[in-house]
Homo-oligomer: A and B are copies of this chain.
Amino acid sequence: MTDGLRFDLDPWSVGLHDVDLDHLGHVESVFALSNGNVGWRGNLDEGEPRGVPGSYLNGVFERHPMPYAEGGYGYPSSGQSAIDVPDGKILRLLVDDEPLDLRTGRLGSHERRLDFRSGTLRRELEWTSPAGRTVRVTSERLVSLTHRSVAALRYQVEPVDGPALVTLQSELIAGEQPPTDYPDPRVQEALSAPLRPVAQHAVDGRVTLLHRTRRSDIGVAVAMEHLITAPRTAVTESEASPDLGRTTIAVGLEPGERLLVVKIVAHEWSAELSPSALRDRAEAGLREGLRAGWEGLATLQRERLDDYWACAAVEIDGDPRLQQAVRFGLFHVFQSAARADLRPVPGKGLTGPGYDGHTFWDSEGFVLPVLTYTAPEVAANALRWRHATLGHARDRARQLHFDGAAFPWRTIDGQEASGYWPAGTIAFHINADIAAAVLRHVQATGDAEFEREVGVELVVETARLWMSIGRWDDSGRFHIDGVTGPDEYTAMVDDNVFTNLMAQQNLSAAADLIRRYPENALALKVDDAEVARWTGASAAMTVLYDERRGVHPQSAGFTDHERWDFDSTPPGRYPLQDHYPYFDLYRKQVVKQADLVLAMHFRHDAFTPEQKARNFAYYEALTVRDSSLSAASQAVIAAEVGHLELAADYLAEAALLDLDDIHRNTDDGLHIASLAGMWVALTAGFGGMRHGSDGLRFEPRLPPSLARIAFGLRIGSGTLRVEVRPDSSAYSLVGGTRCALRHFGEPVTLDPGESVTLPTPPLGDVGPAPEQPPGRSPREMLASRD
């Protein structure tokens, strides 16, 4: 069951007419705005009622003690949690001293709309105060994709049925209580008031608050100023106190007259800068925003998005809801990282407090594949952030007695913040996922400078990690023991096929890069013997296969284990981890999220078509999809092995995850990786796109429900557009240089400006679609949401 909210259908926006006080948190996440640096949840202008307040700066977090019942060597002692920064989106309206509050008076109309092309959240409402005065309010806000630190609001109010004294309190509010109750009082203490006021200024209508986090010692400056248009001079007054900046604007209006206030807010943070330098930077950002004004910022916003959508806009004929959902997803994926210069992409973006604001392998595994092909400069920034955290990753490797770099399972600043190592630190595959993201990015962009400056070191240091984690057996095979793969219902296993295949690619790539960048070899102290060891280990990598069952075991012994007793598992016992102990999940055949199936996508070259079909069927019967990271991957392989309707069902599940709040936790923030997964399901699934060292290939096939899909890919300096219809696919290249690809194995070469349309070969008999565990088919998951 979902909460029953119904967003309206539009290909370029998401709108909502209702006000449902019980599901404010869900709506706030859906309507969140961000540029990857600043994030504003979609709270109402007047701040309340609210689900979760939220104003975030990517990288601003507080440390807290990590509690353990029984500690152990290498356990992180310090946790990290993203915190609310002073909130500049609040604009409280009073009509003749009656505060606008949707819970009082009478609401004539109310509409909010997130527009994917303007990059704004608009609101229109008509409200009659308890005293009987009706006003019309229109507001629009944006978090600037061109001005890294700036967010802006345009707020207009007019009385409808008589004169009114209109007062606006425009605020910066610090220290709003976080919604979480932490069981550990130390964590509660650290996170309940993490910001210490440092200074506050109210000068000539410009209000600036300066704070510093108590433990992580990060300075935060938020500044605001207003542009006011009114039929007569409004009375304005600004004040600043440690946790509140306020500008009050009051004016009497006749019907037909309007007060228009543009609020510009600028945000800066730093762990190094002095308060005065921070203030200067924030106020400089503010000045830039003021100079552009609302129209300027809005125009730049639209231009930036036009540029993005020129490539990224996916077209889908046959399913309006999917059309809306995929653009919703692509909008948020872009927002989550667009200006995240040297910052991570958190699992929830900057849309909510979920996962403590941490970033995971989701970023390199699911989000960056989309950005690399639609906004490659943004993907590059995210990888440069990883590169900037190499020092922490090297330290962590040393602590664990390994060579190279061990990137954290979850983090904000690059240090490990996972408190449960069996599904944390030892999920070492994140290191190969990072290397794979580098390789993919270079393959798509051909960016040699990025490769040399960022890529080589990341790939080499992760390859070194694999050499020290892995081991040789007596017969000359290379093994990786005691790790956890993507599936978190299996942990601490030997030779996880996903991990081994990804490590194999990582090792080969390191050898290749060092051959191509000998000057980096010198700097990284790589010699020929080391390269030979990488090459040897890659060639000797163990890839397990269960001959008897004709499938790849997810890890050593997996297929010999007991199958989970799905028949005896009632629907109410999902997600399983909330109702069964880890050890019981770990020791049985039950899969939380695609693991071997994901390996068949990421290392498509390592499996035959027959193996893919058999493996997919085998793991479908075991996969319960208790993670939002799974459906898109299952869609990709379902499509590859010809089960197109099943793939469409998985895509639908991914598409509705946040819009319909299927997991009932969207109030904590959007599932950015799952939103990105929609694009992957479309391009790699129905587009059959694979892009590896064996080149770029497509095997496009549509499910019966779709008449056409089209998508663009940035390849080098050009854009390849792919248009898939039931019987044929068209490829056209705009700009760039000659592009080679394969269509169902047939080589195609496109010059800039050229197009080609090729027929879809008939799909052979693929047999019946595989079955999922009882109650866990995507259809049943979707059906159960109402």
Contact = CB atoms under 8 A, between A and B. Distances in A.
Contacts of A132: none
Contact of A494 (B65, B79, B587): B587
B73 A561 contact: no
A743 B528 CA distance: 65
Interface string A484-496: 0000000110100
A70 B581 contact: no
Contact of A581 (B186, B420, B421, B481): B421
Nearest to A491: B492
A589 to B, nearest CB: 11
Interface string A58-90: 000000011111101111100100000000000
Nearest to A480: B587
Interface string A574-587: 00011111111011
A400 B581 contact: yes
6 contacts: A70-B419, A72-B582, A425-B581, A426-B583, A481-B561, A482-B584
A419 B73 contact: no
Given A73-B581, A422-B422, A492 B400 contact: no
B79 A69 contact: yes
A139 B426 CA distance: 58
Nearest to A548: B474
A105 interface: no
A560 interface: yes
Candidate in A66, A400, A418, A482 with the most chain B CB atoms within 10 angstroms = A482
A374 to B, nearest CB: 34
Nearest to A484: B583
Count the copies. Answer: 2
Contacts of A694: none
Interface in A75-119: 75-76, 79
A118 to B, nearest CB: 40
Given A65-B183, A481-B587, 4 more contacts: A67-B184, A73-B579, A184-B184, A401-B584
A185 interface: yes
A401 B184 contact: no
Contact of A562 (B70, B75, B471): B471
A424 B583 CA distance: 11
A424 B582 CA distance: 13
A184 B65 CA distance: 9
Contacts of A420: 69-70, 72
Contacts of A557: 494, 556-557
A295 interface: no
A482 B587 contact: yes
A722 to B, nearest CB: 42
Interface string A184-213: 111000000000000000000000000000
B562 A481 contact: yes
Interface string A167-192: 00000000000000001111000000
5 tightest A-B contacts by CB?
A69-B419, A482-B587, A67-B67, A74-B581, A70-B420
B67 A425 contact: no
A454 to B, nearest CB: 29
Contacts of A582: 72-73, 421
Contacts of A588: 481-482
Contacts of A562: 471, 481
A272 interface: no
Given A67-B184, A68-B419, A471-B562, A73 B580 contact: yes
B473 A560 contact: yes
Interface in A408-437: 418-422, 424-426
A545 B68 CA distance: 38
Interface string A755-779: 0000000000000000000000000
Contacts of A75: 69
A73 to B, nearest CB: 5
A418 B68 CA distance: 12
A482 B586 contact: yes
A439 to B, nearest CB: 27
A186 B183 CA distance: 10
Candidate in A76, A424, A561 with the most chain B CB atoms within 10 angstroms = A561
A669 to B, nearest CB: 18
A536 to B, nearest CB: 17
A664 B707 CA distance: 75
Contacts of A560: 473
A490 to B, nearest CB: 10
Nearest to A586: B482
B492 A586 contact: yes
Nearest to A428: B583
Contacts of A419: 68-70
A763 to B, nearest CB: 34
A185 B562 CA distance: 42
A319 to B, nearest CB: 38
A568 to B, nearest CB: 9
Contact of A583 (B70, B186, B492, B578): B492
Interface string A8-21: 00000000000000
Given A67-B67, A67-B69, A68-B68, A583 B421 contact: yes
Contacts of A581: 72-74, 400, 421, 425
A587 B421 contact: no
Contacts of A586: 482, 492
Nearest to A423: B70
Contacts of A577: 72-73
A235 B363 CA distance: 81
Nearest to A68: B69
Contacts of A69: 66-68, 75-76, 79, 419-420
Nearest to A77: B183
A425 to B, nearest CB: 7
A561 B482 CA distance: 10
A611 to B, nearest CB: 22
A236 to B, nearest CB: 48
Contacts of A65: 183
Interface in A356-411: 400-401
A700 B159 CA distance: 105
A306 B400 CA distance: 55
